[in-house]
Amino acid sequence: MPKRKVGFHTPEAIIGNHKVFAGDCNNLLHELPENSVDVLVTSPPYWGQRTSNGTGVEVDPRDYVSSLVEIFSSALVALKPTGVCWINIGDAYNTPVNWRETDHVYSSLGADKNGLDENNSAYKKNRQKRKAFIRKDVSWLQYGNLLALPYRLILGLCDSGFVFRGEVIWKKQNPLPEGRCRRPHRVHEPIFLLAKSEKHEFTISPSIKSVWEFPNEGRKEKHAHFSRYPEELARRCILASGVDLKPETVILDPFAGSGTTGVVAKQLGCSFVGFEIDELHVDSSNDRINNTDHGSWEDAPPSAVRKGAR
């Protein structure tokens, strides 16, 4: 029998953990005990925008969606009956990824409205050399089509047993420029809420609105991770989930990346488990989490009103 990397045989064994484990989440999720996770908060790699191994490097976007459905279906087993799952995921056009350093001249962002600095990560980011995937016999796989990958994922997750409970729009205060294009410039990303059961926990007072506005953040880790969401996103997801902020509450991020979800979980006084396939990010994220004080978020509210709100 292969040695377990995670080593949690019971849900109780996870209490007090604040660690990102190295490995493919598609394998490591099977090592989590059933009904052990209260809240899953994550942002999987976007299609065609990563250079390392793992999800997001698929040539065919259909394979990308199928892979994510399989991964989250494994996570569903670990989710408690009252648990919820938050997924922040961006869409993609069926075009090559071809941003250039000179594209900054087309932007009206920045303090002087003349674009971001030419050394900004928007132009320097090391991206997968994605090509358009064209299939004449599949109408949605034509060139230039916005592929609706997040919605294809949600439909697949509903077919696999998830209950789709809502969508939050993250309106970015500092969106990245997109250059000149014959379409609306995207200044938002969706955050989807799913559950194992309709009778999940949730904060119903104060009510949770469907549009959240806050900026992205600069990098806070030693090993640069360009595709990271801000701490505010993870914090709002956890607080909206209606869970008690205590070590017995377990937060999971199967695509831990820079460790942001783990940092926030620890600040809020919860336990955390993360998985990350890139070992450089594993070391960096664990350093961030280890340097975070448990229960250190000063603005933590009193216990939220929690019910299986419909």
How far is 238 from 38, CA to CA, in rounded Å? Answer: 9
Q: Which amino acid appears at position 276 of this protein? A: E
Contacts for 34 with CB less than 8 Å, ≥ 6 apart: 77, 78
Alpha-carbon torsion 95, 98, 104, 110, what sign? positive
Burial code (b: 16+ CB inside 10 Å, e: under 16) for 205-225 equals eeebeeebebeeeeebbeeeb
Residue 149's pLDDT is: 97
Residue 296's pLDDT is: 80
Q: How far apart are the first and last CA of the chain?
A: 44
Residue 150's pLDDT is: 98
pLDDT for residue 126 is more than 70: no
pLDDT for residue 308 is more than 50: no
Tokens at 173, concatenated? 């205060």
Residue 304's pLDDT is: 47
pLDDT for residue 98 is more than 70: no
- C-alpha pair distances (Å), 289 with each of 23, 87, 98, 113, 217: 18, 21, 34, 36, 17
pLDDT higher at 36 or 128: 36
| Model pTM score | 0.86
- In degrees and rounded to multiples of 5, residue 306 shows phi and psi of -120, 130
Closest CA to 189 of 39, 46, 41: 46
Residue 123's pLDDT is: 57
Domain ranges of the chain: 11-92+146-306
pLDDT-derived band at 117 (thresholds 50, 70, 90) equals low
Give me the CATH topology for the region 11-92+146-306.
Rossmann fold (3.40.50)
Query: pLDDT tens for residues 250-276?
Result: 999 999 999 999 999 999 999 999 999
User: Are 28 and 21 within 8 A, CB to CB?
Assistant: yes
Tokens at 103, concatenated? 């594209």
Residue 159's pLDDT is: 98
Residue 95's pLDDT is: 84
Query: pLDDT tens for residues 189-237?
Result: 999 999 999 999 999 999 999 999 999 876 655 555 456 799 999 999 9
Query: pLDDT tens for residues 155-181?
Result: 999 999 999 999 999 999 988 777 677
Residue 96's pLDDT is: 79
Cα–Cα–Cα angle for 296, 276, 154, rounded to 5 degrees: 95
